[in-house]
Amino acid sequence: MANYEGFKSRRSVPSFFTTMTPEMRAGDFSGFTVTSTPFAGNRIPASRINPGAKYLIDNFAPLPNLPQTGLPNRNHQWTAKTPVDKDQFTGRIDFNENANSQWFGRYSWTDELTITPGVQKNGTGLYTRAGQWVLSNTRVLSSSKVNEFRFGYNTLFNNISQELAAVENVNERLNTPIKVTDPNSWGVPNISMAGSTLSSFGNDANGPFTIDNKIYQAVNNFSWIIGKHSLRMGGEYRYNQFLQIGNEFARGRFTHNGSFTGNGNTLAGGYNGADLLLGAPSVIEAAVALARGDFRNSEIAFYLDDTYKLSRKLTLSLGLRYELAQPLLDKFGLQPNFQLRQPLPSVANVADPNLHPVFVRTGTGDFYEDLAFRFTGPVQLARDGRLGNRLITTDRNNFAPRLGIAYSPSAKWSIRTGGGVFFAQESKNSIFDMSRAAGGRANPVIDLQAVPTLSYSNYINTAQLPVRFAPGLTWGADNNLRTTYSLQYLLNVQRTLSESSVLEVGYTGNVSRRINYLINANAPLPGITPFDAREPYPEWHGIQFLNGDGIGNYNAFSAKLTQRLTSRMTAMFSYTWSKALDENSAIRGTGSDFTLMNPRCRSCDYSYAGFDVPQRLVVSLLYNLPFGKGQRLLNNSALADAVVGGWQLSTITNLQSGTPINPESWDSAGMGAGFPHSNRLNCVSGVNPVASTPHPDRYFVREAFTNVTAGQFGNCARNALRAPSNWNVDFSAMKDFKIHEAHTLQFRMEMFNAPNHPAWGRPSAAWGTQGAAPNAAFGRIRSTSQLRQIQFALKYSF
């Protein structure tokens, strides 16, 4: 058997961008109080406009095309055109060696290219190529014994690059001190605009990234029936190769927040667009070189499962699984990790150097071998094997027992309960991140209350090679990182109400432990003084460190009714009430929930999970039209049967609560770059944050919040707000056309968001400024759910 599928999509979406007016680009901010006293009349002299900033604005930030008064806000409209091209091929062969042995083989290949548009040359490209080989054999050894063996080989090549990759080297035009020599890395540096509604532009700071993964897998399952026992046992072996090349900030990210044109003491009152014209970033992040890693590891797992039928009504299932996964080994020998000698201290400038972190590189010898940079300052480095070649200790304790009970007291009742332990290997992404430190990251410390001196062309000194700089953001992971696990348990009761209806109610619980999350292992104490005056280890800057002791839990009650309304119509009603709590919902969070707000207070972040949806109702209907052959109407007409006979219609209606939203402040506590969106606003007690009559221009009310004073954390709980609830209706129609006895053509039409209902998106909860008043976008909704989409499909079976 062979199968080929092709897919092409061309989708256009109207989009908005906030950009500076021509007058602002010339330095004229008159009419707006956006610059401090050094610029009389809010006019920046032409001689002070940075040439690099002018080049960036003129070439990569569009001019307004919508009329507007006041400060810019959504004043440029453009059409985002997203092309997606996919090709997929599958070949399969089945071979019956004899009555007791069957072979199966398959080869699959897929190729996909997606261009994500960006305004004015700021787009990105994603190319993916994947392949899979599978060979399996099922062999009947006796009437009670069956063995299945399967071997698989998977490949995945993935490349994320920029619209201008291999086309234009923008960094060369800016004369950045770090040269971007790899054409796949060419593109527009990320120009981040924080503190007003001005849109950021340039390419995403993430990338380029190229991966070339290969996975070898062998699985064997053996089934054996012994009386009332149905035994299953087996194991799996995997060998993984993960080749990774790329980095964050390969072209640099330059953040402008208005500090340098604001009040020199409070940093308030400035404008990020004016800072951009001056070429005065508040934060600079740039990789020195692309990171490289060739990671290898082996994983094995064994299991034994027994389904024991105690009686006709009662069945017991017992199982045990064991997993062992090696930590990743970098065959290039470039990966480093941190050896932390104490928990995060609550003091600045720890006096005892024996308590300071040591940066340990895999292997032995010179730490700087094959590296293009040198750290300055009294950093402690080692390459002596103290953390082992894999830098993380193997977790050998992953035993996972399972228990299940099924009881049917009568034909109308079915009761199921059980529980088990399930392990989840870390995503590996944060382990790959550690290699970025081998590429080097420049994060110069910028004094926001001084005259700006660092810009796009001088943020590090390249007079000496290799490049020397104080450590910027670096990465590490707990050397004793354990495997995340969940204890899951359930109780489900099913009752047949009649021949045409079944009711099912149940409870599901989940307790998760050893959850991975990120902290800054060198987090400064809250304050407004320079970072190195508040950090425990001033020789280092931010240390993005992977911990594995997070907690979470989930509880849900559900009910489902399946009802056959007529011989041709079936309905299903499903309702779920649930609650999910945790400290951090993913390694990099969900939405703006990136990491702990205060790494010294984990309990301060224990709240609703980023994926918490308290209520969800799903109603589905399936209806076979009563026309045509074998039906009640028009059953004697071949023409009627061909046109209206055999149609099957279905709908799915989904109603659910909105997802949580973090009320975001600026970096008021002074935690620094590398840990975005971690600070929250102050919530005013007793004031409902949702407007009494919410609408897109006023969903959250600013009176329910106050901005946070510099040097402090906000008091709002994590994920304290919630997006609007939403509903959606999908519709499909399907018909089989009989061409010949063994040939059928199936037509299918599917309509997503069939009524074209413009469900509200998520309102902005980002204050966006350091002042007492939020930016214009705060509390507003500027997006809706996907508009109606219709797709048609033909399937020919023979």
3-state secondary structure 231-260: EEEEEEEEEEEEEEEEEECCCCEEEECCHH
What is the pLDDT at residue 35?
53
What average pLDDT does range 282-288 have in this prediction?
90
What pLDDT, on a 0 to 100 scale, did the predictor assign at position 674? Answer: 62
User: Region 10-38: what's the mean pLDDT?
Assistant: 82
Per-residue model confidence (pLDDT) at position 488: 97
Whole-structure pTM value: 0.82
The predicted-structure confidence for 708-760, as pLDDT tens digits, reads as follows: 999 999 999 999 999 999 999 999 999 888 777 778 888 899 999 999 988 88
Q: Which of 371-385, 678-692, 732-746 has the lowest mean pLDDT?
A: 732-746
Share of the chain above pLDDT 70, in %: 97
Residues 6+ apart with CB under 8 A from 164: 121, 170, 186, 187, 188, 203
**Over residues 326-343, mean pLDDT:** 95
If one compares 636 and 405, the residue with the highest pLDDT of the two is 405
Task: Give the residue-averaged pLDDT of 608-615.
Answer: 94
**8 Å CB contact between 182 and 161:** no
The confidence band for 447, taking pLDDT boundaries of 50, 70 and 90, is: confident
Share of the chain above pLDDT 90, in %: 68
Read off the tokens for 211.
């991966």
Question: What is the pLDDT at residue 84?
Answer: 93
Confidence of residue 265 (pLDDT cuts 50, 70, 90): confident
- Average pLDDT value for residue range 22-34: 83
User: For residue 691, what are its two tokens?
Assistant: 């407007």
What is the tens place of the pLDDT at every residue in 626-635? 877 767 777 7
For the residues 200-224, what does the mean pLDDT come to?
A: 94
Write down the pLDDT at residue 355.
Answer: 97
User: Which of 459, 474, 460, 290 has the alpha carbon at shortest distance from 372?
Assistant: 290
Distance CA 704, CA 698 (A): 12
pLDDT of the residue at 441 = 79
CA–CA distance, 211 with 159 (Å, rounded to integer): 7
For residue 716, which phi and psi values (nearest 5 degrees)?
-65, 145
pLDDT band, very low/low/confident/very high, at 192 (cuts 50, 70, 90): very high
Q: Given pLDDT bands bounded at 50, 70 and 90, which one contains residue 37?
A: low
Q: Are 650 and 731 in contact (CB under 8 A)?
A: yes
Q: Is the pLDDT of residue 542 over 80?
A: yes
Tokens describing residue 628: 């045509």
Quick: pLDDT tens for 548-578.
999 999 999 999 999 998 878 999 999 999 9
- Residue 650's pLDDT is what? 95
* Residue-averaged pLDDT of the chain: 91
Residue 267, sorted as left (phi over 0), alpha (psi -120 to 50) or beta, turns out to be: left
Sign of CA dihedral 385, 386, 392, 393: positive
3-class DSSP state of 17: strand
Q: What integer pLDDT is reported at residue 676 of this predicted model?
A: 64
Name the residue with higher pLDDT: 79 or 449: 79
Q: Confidence band (pLDDT; 50, 70, 90) for 207?
A: confident
- In angstroms, the Cα distances linking 663 to 192, 257, 288, 433, 698 are 20, 19, 34, 28, 15
Mean pLDDT value across residues 223-247: 95
What pLDDT shows up at residue 238? Answer: 97
The pLDDT value recorded for residue 437 is: 87
Q: What is the mean pLDDT of residues 488-494?
A: 97
pLDDT of 404 above 70: yes
pLDDT above 60 for 146? yes
The pair of three-digit structure tokens given for residue 21, joined into one six-digit string: 């007016």
Structure confidence at residue 10 (pLDDT): 87
Q: Using CB atoms within 10 A of its CB, is residue 107 exposed (0-12), middle (13-18) or buried (19+)?
A: middle
pLDDT above 70: residue 261: yes
Q: Is the pLDDT of residue 120 over 60?
A: yes
Query: What's the confidence (pLDDT) of residue 463?
Result: 76
Query: How much is the pLDDT for 29?
Result: 87
